[in-house]
Amino acid sequence: MLFNSGTFIFLFLPVALAGFFLLARIRLLFAAAWLTAASLFFYGWWNPLYVWLLAASITCNFGFGMMLGRAVAEGARGRAKVLLVTALTANLVVLGYYKYANFFLDSVATLTGAPVSLGEIILPLGISFFTFTQIAFLADVYAGKVREYNFIHYGLFVTYFPHLIAGPVLHHAEMMPQFERATTYRFSFENAAVGITIFAIGLFKKVMIADPIGGYARPVFDAASSGVTLTVLEAWGGALAYTFQLYFDFSGYSDMAIGLSRLFGVTLPLNFHSPYKAVNIIEFWRRWHMTLSRFLRDYLYVPLGGNRHGVSRRYINLFVTMLLGGLWHGAGWTFVAWGALHGGYLVVNHGWRALRVRLGDDLKSSTLLGRAAACVVTFAAVVVAWVVFRASDLAAAGAMLKAMAGLNGFVLPDFWLPKWGAFGQWLAAHGVVFGDTRDLVTGGLVNWIWILLVVVWFAPNTQQLLALHRPALALPPDTFSGRFKWSPTVAYATIAAVLVTVSIFNFHRQSEFLYFQF
């Protein structure tokens, strides 16, 4: 079931909310159980068969967590280690089978020429998310940080429908206290108002921005993969369209998840904080898919040694973390290359900062112009990486990047020449070719791009608008800056209603969220 569907908004959500708050009047655990059941129903709507996989995963991991907690409490480190390794292996084997088996076999087949295949394996929705959530839980139990005795609460933590399919990647420590708190189960108009608003913004981002701009990205990437030689303008148009599609799709989903959760009285962690405003790649990863970055840092980078074994080792750890982060996104060489690219970016960024420190430069001092230039460079690097991420294969990515570099020539659509008047004539006189082009780059796309650039670089984000109402957990300090602040007024209620109704009218071109596939 999609958040951007009538079935969800008009049927599932009202029933889930009503059941939750009514049952909470009888007993809080009943409400938690109801929400768990509703979440499983939500998951099963896509494919009922995989509910059993999810239920088995939860049951096994809860069992391992109990045994692990007991072993840790008894000081039996050896037993705990065996249990942890067994549990992690089981989780990774399941994930590996569903997500990576065919990728691995296809790669072997390509290398050896021997066709090996397990046939078509349907990837269970959100398997990466619920596996990682539970791996983090097990690791924390092993470290003695948490223990969980309530199966209903644990089940709800994993299945909780707002985050189940595409995150945020939840941390046990930030969710369980909320499920145990009685106030969570009491209906609050403030939660409703905040939740509705965040959901409305997310829905609008997804339906009215991500989906339409995605319509411009697909033909360009299709053209690249089918061997069409693209011009620099077409390639950049497609790359930027995808850059915005992915951002508004995923941040829209995250907003919806945070808003929906707030309706149930539960506050989720922040997942996006205007990532395209980042002035370097390090900052980008502190703003993009923040809960995944946190997971990779705490459960991969740090266990690999982090920055504790010297500079070279630190860079290797960074690179490996990003490489695996890339593979987490999908079973394909483009994802590996994307991870490697970001790993490389991070290494260069850290190296550059170390050099500046060594040269006596103050990392905290900067000029407006310098920050603007850094923001543009970072954005360009991210766009280049998204091309690799989106392309159907490495050859298509190479073709796109070649075109973006201007190696296929610089041709502008000839119908722009009369529109641009004297400026167009001047460009033509200075070597810019106006020729017959495909309609891959239209006036519509150009308008989308400049408007969305203004939005992602200058507009306040959802949590900044709602900062006074603590919309999410772990808000960065700069959330509270900025002039525009939402308050529960009639005018804002009308705006939220307009966002929702306009989005509903556009459900007919309903599409899935890009991050569902990860």
Partner 1 sequence: MTASHASRRYTITFAIVCTVVLLPVVVLNFLLGLRSLGDGDAVAAASRWQQATRGVTYAPPLSANRPFKSARLFDRLPEINTVILGSSTMMGITQEMFPDEQKIYNFAQTGNLLSTVIGEAEYLQQSSPQSLKWFFIAFDWALGSPYFPGDAVSQNLAPAAAGTSSGPGLSVAQRLADALSLPRVKNLAGIVAGVARAPQPVSAFRELFLQAAGEPYQCSDGTPARDFDTIFRGTCTGFRFDGSATFGNLEPLSPQRAQTLIASAVVPSSKYAVELIKARGEPNPQLLLRLAALARAIHAAGGGVVLVLPPLLPGMERALQTSVHTAAPLQRTRALLEQWGRSENVTIIDAGASERFGCSVAEFVDEHHALPACYAKIFARFRAARSGRNAMPAGLWSGQG
Q: Cite the beta strand spans of 55-161 per DSSP E.
A: none
| CB nearer partner 1, residue 5 or residue 150 | 5
| Residue 506 found at the interface with partner 1 (CB under 8 A) | yes
Tokens of 227: 């061997």
Question: What is the x/- site pattern for partner 1, positions 204-223, by CB under 8 A?
Answer: --------------xx--xx
Relative orientation angle of helices 151-159 and 28-44, to the nearest 10 degrees: 40
H/E element holding 433? strand 433-435
**Min dist. Cβ of residue 140 to partner 1 (A):** 35
| Residue 490 found at the interface with partner 1 (CB under 8 A) | yes
| CB nearer partner 1, residue 11 or residue 82 | 11
| Residue 189 found at the interface with partner 1 (CB under 8 A) | yes
Question: What is the x/- site pattern for partner 1, positions 9-48, by CB under 8 A?
Answer: -x--------------------------------------
| Residue 511 found at the interface with partner 1 (CB under 8 A) | no
Tokens of 294: 């946190």
| Residue 517 found at the interface with partner 1 (CB under 8 A) | no
| Residue 183 found at the interface with partner 1 (CB under 8 A) | no
Distance, in Å, from the CA atom of 471 to the CA atom of 317, rounded to the nearest integer, reads 33
Distance, in Å, from the CA atom of 148 to the CA atom of 141, rounded to the nearest integer, reads 9
What's the number of CA atoms in the CB half-sphere (13 Å) around residue 151?
12
| CB nearer partner 1, residue 140 or residue 211 | 211
Distance, in Å, from the CA atom of 14 to the CA atom of 25, rounded to the nearest integer, reads 17
**Min dist. Cβ of residue 5 to partner 1 (A):** 8
Distance, in Å, from the CA atom of 334 to the CA atom of 399, rounded to the nearest integer, reads 13
Q: Which of 77, 115, 497, 517 binds partner 1 (CB under 8 A)?
A: 497
| Residue 439 found at the interface with partner 1 (CB under 8 A) | yes
Tokens of 31: 């409400």
Q: Which residues contact 11 (CB under 8 A, 6 or more apart)?
A: none
Helix, strand, coil percentages, rounded to 5, for the chain = 75, 0, 25
| Residue 437 found at the interface with partner 1 (CB under 8 A) | yes
Give residue 463's identity as a one-letter amino acid code. Answer: Q
Residue 435 forms beta bridges with which residues? 413
- In terms of Cβ atoms closer than 10 Å to its own Cβ (0-12, 13-18, 19+), residue 75 is exposed
User: Looking at 64-72, 280-288, 470-478, 495-503, which segment touches partner 1 (CB under 8 A)?
Assistant: 495-503
Q: Which of 438, 446, 474, 516 binds partner 1 (CB under 8 A)?
A: 438
Residue 412 forms beta bridges with which residues? 434
Length of the chain: 518
| CB nearer partner 1, residue 367 or residue 489 | 489
Q: Which of 84, 165, 496, 514 binds partner 1 (CB under 8 A)?
A: 496
Distance, in Å, from the CA atom of 320 to the CA atom of 225, rounded to the nearest integer, reads 28
Q: Which residues contact 19 (CB under 8 A, 6 or more apart)?
A: 31, 34, 38
User: Looking at 105-113, 312-320, 347-355, 436-444, which segment touches partner 1 (CB under 8 A)?
Assistant: 436-444
Helix (H/G/I), strand (E/B), else coil: 269:
strand
User: Looking at 34-42, 96-104, 191-199, 457-465, which segment touches partner 1 (CB under 8 A)?
Assistant: 191-199
Distance, in Å, from the CA atom of 210 to the CA atom of 445, rounded to the nearest integer, reads 13
User: Looking at 90-98, 128-136, 224-232, 445-453, which segment touches partner 1 (CB under 8 A)?
Assistant: 224-232
| Residue 494 found at the interface with partner 1 (CB under 8 A) | yes
Segment 370 to 409, residues that bind partner 1, using CB under 8 A = 392
| Residue 433 found at the interface with partner 1 (CB under 8 A) | no
Helix (H/G/I), strand (E/B), else coil: 232:
helix
Number of residues this chain uses to bind partner 1 (CB under 8 A): 42
Q: Which of 45, 100, 420, 492 binds partner 1 (CB under 8 A)?
A: 492
Question: What is the x/- site pattern for partner 1, positions 82-121, by CB under 8 A?
Answer: ----------------------------------------
Q: Which of 89, 226, 425, 447 binds partner 1 (CB under 8 A)?
A: 226
Q: Are 65 and 136 in contact (CB under 8 A)?
A: no
Does 329 participate in catalysis according to the annotation?
yes
Distance, in Å, from the CA atom of 257 to the CA atom of 254, rounded to the nearest integer, reads 5
Angle at Cα 517 formed by Cα 260 and Cα 279, nearest 5°? 75
Strand-strand pairing, 411-413 and 433-435: parallel
| Residue 504 found at the interface with partner 1 (CB under 8 A) | yes
| CB nearer partner 1, residue 289 or residue 469 | 469
Residue 433 forms beta bridges with which residues? 411
Q: Are 2 and 513 in contact (CB under 8 A)?
A: yes
What's the number of CA atoms in the CB half-sphere (13 Å) around residue 203?
27
| CB nearer partner 1, residue 73 or residue 118 | 118
* Catalytic hit among 171, 289, 329, 350: 329
**Min dist. Cβ of residue 250 to partner 1 (A):** 22
User: Looking at 132-140, 307-315, 336-344, 438-446, which segment touches partner 1 (CB under 8 A)?
Assistant: 438-446
| CB nearer partner 1, residue 193 or residue 266 | 193
Tokens of 354: 């170390």
Q: Which of 75, 119, 227, 431 binds partner 1 (CB under 8 A)?
A: 227
Residues forming contacts to partner 1 in the complex (CB under 8 A) are 6-7, 10, 188-190, 192-194, 196, 218-219, 222-223, 225-228, 392, 436-440, 487-490, 492-494, 496-498, 500-501, 504-509
| Residues marked as catalytic | 329
